[in-house]
Structure 1
């Protein structure tokens, strides 16, 4: 059965009437319009009023039908347009409380509040139900008669409540002649125009997926919803009402701690752990079709509790890179932050999370992370396609799922790369190593290797540049041209043996200095904290033989990290 989608143009007085009751679902962001938005809305309406326009179009509202009565009145979740509907409600409440006309007060109040009516079987209700966190404040300071004039002194306001107060202040000032007097004539005309000449288009459907597809096409002024928003709604909707508020708080705490972008990433990682295949549809659709529909017990409380457990692992072990196992804590921090911040790929994170959830003993974390890094980096260096790399990581997920012994997983043949030893050597000896997209990561990994016994935490943040000891463009007739002829420069300049790291941007003029001057200017003035670069101090000269020697040292170190 195809879900019906209805689209209709409607004036504001009919949208805020007995046929419609709106709810802001828990997945929506808090009220977040700013003063500029309030001013823009009012000024646009005022200009249309002044120009005696027949109608002013205020955009579209997308809503999901939650219940429908026989008289075609309904209760709807607002998918798109909550910022506009909330602002319009505040505007009508402000005008209600400013007006000296009892008739205007009564009409405006009816637009935001449904009085009980036993003859029409109408219960007491509000036209717009906001998020639970703000419900009481919104009731007392907007919905109730005189609420917009109620004092907020002594109330600790949330960010969204501050926005509500700001909107009331902005709209109130628009009708003030001075501090004591309201322009009742303007107010009266504005009320009539707003109710009768302001037009919106509502789009409604009973299917949430259809509603969000429409949202993605029609959304203009609103704030874009994410996968986490959609899944929040899906999971909260199946939890009984007495428990829903608790689980909504759990979700929002996760969102506050991680941030929306990180939460969206995490939800994608969880999807990979469940399905172990490359995504073929949107993450939201795959959750519905391949996770929830196959195991309904996962949906609701079970999923939010699982999300909370995974979020704690992700936050503590990946984002904060912390473990309590003292012996491994520094190396774990250094390697995890390097992988997190400098690998250009993220498919390794789901296997790490899956392993950490299944084997919470932290003495296993560093050995597994090293094996995982070996597999990920060698796949990257060998030039596997994104699809091929994902397949390899999904194999790792299957190994974790199928084994009950952490040591057996760590020592699994899947993580052994000795069979590609020669292939890796060829890549590492490439004369154009500098131009490979993994160059900086490899150099940073060598730096960690050199400091492995120092027990010093390294955070590779900020500006990090790759420096050529033998410069790329040496000064004509200078020392470097005497030490390296043009053929030698072609061979040696971009080799790994000629590359070091600097914690600053390159200085092209200093880069061309003679070797001993470069040592002084770059390596003895706090320009670098890299052990890889400090090694240069032990060299008295820089020649083709020097680079060959250092090249061999670098390759032997890389082999000891990943192959031997």
Structure 2
């Protein structure tokens, strides 16, 4: 065996090819045989108030019910370095949320107890003192990530640390969660402004002597992450991004692992875990170009990482490229060229991003941008892409059919030799649907259709496209009826429109406008001329589609029909010109 200052290297011991699982009490896990490290590739400390509260209450309930043991869950450990006596340093592959939280709870109890013996016992579990006769060195029981290391030492590991005041607003998210855990656990022991020393003493004894974990340890990094992929943190289900992060970092050579871990975490920090999971799904679709048949992790392992792309450095670089396109082109709506195309691109992709309720089009856009990143191509592609997805939305194709159409577009992009080939492909020829589109836009229940608001916003954008102004459709955007849905019986509206006319025209495209406010049925019922003054004039509304109403002196059957024709022709100009 290869010697080092700790004894032997974990990779050289029998555990390299074996997995060991064992049930262990907290007092034995937090003892001289174990020192823990949270590897840099792990996600940040993520537990929140509810997790801390539930953990404490579950333990307390078990204590009060006089149960022999309380199971805290499992942890997966990779042997990093080990001594001849079996003690060693372990990387926490799974369970860092739990072990970090237990450490904080032990520290809080240490700082609240008035028992000198209890205080010393708990500090011993948290902080290993040097003992030259036992061959142990001074060391913290758990090394958190470098970004939180100094903070964790000051406010948790050091005696009286949990009593130190700090201002949350100045802290990073993981640091805020550490402080939250301290606050939650401290408050649990206070009754009428004083520490309940009896409860505290009982909890210390119960946690150390009755709370049990199962540790699973292996000396092999790949084996550790194979286990990681099938187990969850308590109260913190593993996301797809966690599982793929594990699989990919395990495939990176050790001397490059930290760099690629930082790259992955930067993407996660920029986008958030939910958005990262979405991107991972996008990549799956771009690379496989088929309807999902298994869970996404299995498809990655069996299809993508089995011939399409190597896990590790290649995949993380690809993910980084996709994330940059998604962030810069889609989220920031930036095409990168200072022309009127820049404004048009910004406006169009913004309403697509914010008001199209499905994201399949983003997959196609990213795929195109990966192959043809030139800015001059991106806007032209976005125009035909929007036409394709919106027309299919209008005619009501199913989600399954939309997935099929997306995969057809991806195949066209992959096989193409240049961008022009993509633009001219038959996959974007939707002329056969023109009559159906006209019929649906003319429907008397247009307002009830899911695409109603988007079409009105697209019309508004069409009316503004020569203004060279970035349109920002943020906040509340409501669809309003000029002829109200429920006019008062003695109003101008009921005198102008009989019940049959109202049934026919109220929800028609020609009777609808947009307003930047919540619906107000009382205001909506006022007479037409007053409505123009209050809601439709310049300076009152930001929508060109709404300002146009002021050009009408009256609002009757003929007004709605003429506007219906005008709006329909505009939409056809957008999508079929």
**TM-score bin, normalised by smaller chain:** 0.7 to 0.9
Once the two structures are superposed, residues 253-292 of structure 1 have per-residue CA deviations (whole angstroms, 9 ceiling, x without a partner) of 2122112222221121121111111222222222222111
Deviation, 1:546, is: 2.0
Question: 1:394 aligned to 385, 394, 407, which one?
Answer: 407
Equivalent residue pairs, number? 552
CA distance in 1 between counterparts of 2:200 and 2:125 reads 17
Provide closer, same or farther for how the CA distance between residues 163 and 383 of structure 1 changes in structure 2, counting only shifts above 3 A. Answer: closer
Matched ranges for 1:135-146 at <5 A? 135=149, 138=152
C-alpha contact (below 8 Å) 1:400/1:409 kept by paired residues: yes
Aligned equivalents of 1:188, 1:509: Cα separation in 2: 63
Alpha-carbon distance in structure 1 between the residues aligned to 2:18 and 2:502: 70
In the alignment, which residue of structure 2 is the partner of 1:109? 124
Match of 2:314 among 298, 302, 315: 302
Matched position secondary structure for 1:199 = strand
| Alpha carbons 1:114, 1:127 under 8 Å: kept | no
Q: Does 2:352 correspond to 1:328?
A: no
Q: SS of the counterpart of 2:147?
A: helix
Aligned to 1:360: 373
2:444 matches 1:431: yes
Distance, in Å, in 2 between the alignment partners of 1:207 and 1:401 is: 37
Alignment counterpart, residue 89 of structure 1, candidates 103, 107, 110: 103
Distance verdict in 2 for CA 1:130–1:492, change over 3 Å: same
Q: 1:408 to 1:116 in 2, by over 3 A?
A: farther
Contact (CA 8 Å) 1:67, 1:74: kept in 2 or not? Answer: yes
Asked if residue 313 in structure 1 is aligned to residue 328 in structure 2, the reply is: no
Determine which of 30, 48, 55 is the counterpart of 1:16.
Answer: 30
Given the alignment of the two structures, is residue 230 of structure 1 paired with residue 243 of structure 2, yes or no? yes
Structure 2 alignment gaps of length 5 or more: 1-16
- Seen in structure 2, the aligned counterparts of structure 1 residues 495 and 124 have a Cα distance that, compared at 3 Å, is same
Match of 1:407 in 2: 420
Alpha-carbon distance change, 428 to 38 in structure 1, aligned in 2, over 3 angstroms: closer
- How far 1:522 moved relative to its partner? 1.9
Greater CA deviation, 326-335 or 485-494?
Answer: 485-494
* Deviation (angstroms), 1:473: 2.1
| Residue matched to 2:283 | 270
TM-score by length of 2: 0.81
Secondary structure of the 2:307 match is coil
Greater CA deviation, 396-405 or 92-101?
92-101
- C-alpha separation between the residues in 2 aligned to 1:225 and 1:276? 25
Aligned 8 A contact 2:76 2:224 in 1: no
Check the 8 A contact 1:87/1:167 in 2, yes or no. yes
Q: Any residues of structure 2 matched to 1:396-545 within 5 Å, and which?
A: 396-524=409-537, 526-545=539-558
Question: Residue 179 of structure 1 aligns with which residue?
Answer: none
Is 2:225–2:246's contact at 8 Å kept on the other side of the alignment? no
Cα pair distance change 1:38/1:278, threshold 3 Å:
closer
Helix, strand or coil for the counterpart of 1:31? coil
Structure 2 CA distance for partners of 1:25 and 1:234, relative to 1, 3 Å: farther
Is 1:381 the counterpart of 2:394? The answer is: yes
Name the structure 1 match of 2:148: 134
The DSSP-based 3-state class of the residue aligned with 1:546 is: helix
Q: How does 1:335-346 map to 2 (within 5 A)?
A: 335-346=348-359
CA 1:112–1:383 in structure 2 vs 1: closer, same or farther (change >3 Å)? same
| Partner in structure 1 of residue 263 of structure 2 | 250
